Amino acid sequence: MTTLGYAILGLLAREGLSGYDLTQRMKGRVGYFWSARHSQIYPELARLEDGGFVTHSVVEQRDRPDKKVYEITDVGLEALKDWVTEPPPEKPTRDELTLKAYSVWLADGEEAARVFRAEGLKHEEQLARYEEIRSWMEDEWREDLSSPGSPHFASYATLQRGIIHERGYAEWCRWLAEAVGGEISISGRGEA
């Protein structure tokens, strides 16, 4: 079974979904840390069904094309549950921006500062979005967030990972931009 398979099972364990629905969930990101395109999802669903981890039923719709709604089976649920507590294989981290930083000594300081400042901004923006969702969760799901057995708790946990990730990344970008470039100029540069 592939990791993508477990990602799909993780979504189906919460609710029945079509391939299209799954694709939408995977765009945003499953719990913010996995993604896949429809071209990968449809064949994987077929394999999961072949293995008995999911089943599907065709749902007819008036206003839209019919769809196949997939549901997780007991076998699938069991496999997913077992996978959760297996230690993950350690895969090497690959981060292109950090790799760029490794050769930043060759670049013009101002130019490099612009790049890292811009990347830092992106991560700050993502952080802000995540924090907004977190506030919403804390309001809406208050009780669930102290029950590790609830799916809402699990969603909150992955979001929490996203927040920590973005915060750290933004911090590093700001630090590096400052170190290589120095002054932060507002576009237009008001100096007379």
Partner DNA sequence: ACCCGCATGTAAGTCGTTACATGATTCT
Partner DNA sequence: AGAATCATGTAACGACTTACATGCGGGT
In eight-state DSSP terms, residue 104 is: G
Pick from DNA, its own copies, none: which does 19 bind, CB < 5 to 8 A by kind? DNA
Q: What character string, x for contact with its own copies (CB under 8 A) and - otherwise, covers 138-167?
A: ----------xxxx-xxx-xx-xx--xx-x
Q: 171 is in the binding site of which of DNA, its own copies, none (Cβ under 5 to 8 A by kind)?
A: its own copies
- Cα separation, 12 vs 10, in Å, equals 6
Q: Which stretch binds DNA (CB under 7 A): 40-48, 123-131, 156-164, 177-185?
A: 40-48
Q: SS3 helix, strand, coil % of the chain, rounded to 5? A: 65, 5, 30
Residue 149 phi, psi (nearest 5): -85, 0
* Dihedral of alpha carbons 45, 41, 122, 173, sign: positive
Using CB under 8 A as the binding rule, the residues of this chain from 79 to 118 that contact its own copies are: 80-81, 83-109, 111-112, 114-115, 118
With binding defined as CB under 7 A, does residue 37 bind DNA?
yes
Asked if residue 160 binds DNA (CB under 7 A), the reply is no
Q: How far is the CB of 20 from DNA (least distance, A)?
A: 3
- Six-digit token string for 126: 């993502």
Q: How many residues does this entry show for the chain?
A: 192
First to last CA, the chain: 64
Task: Find the binder of DNA among 13, 16, 42, 131 (CB under 7 A).
Answer: 42
What residue 39 binds from its own copies, DNA, none (CB within 5 to 8 A, per partner kind)? DNA
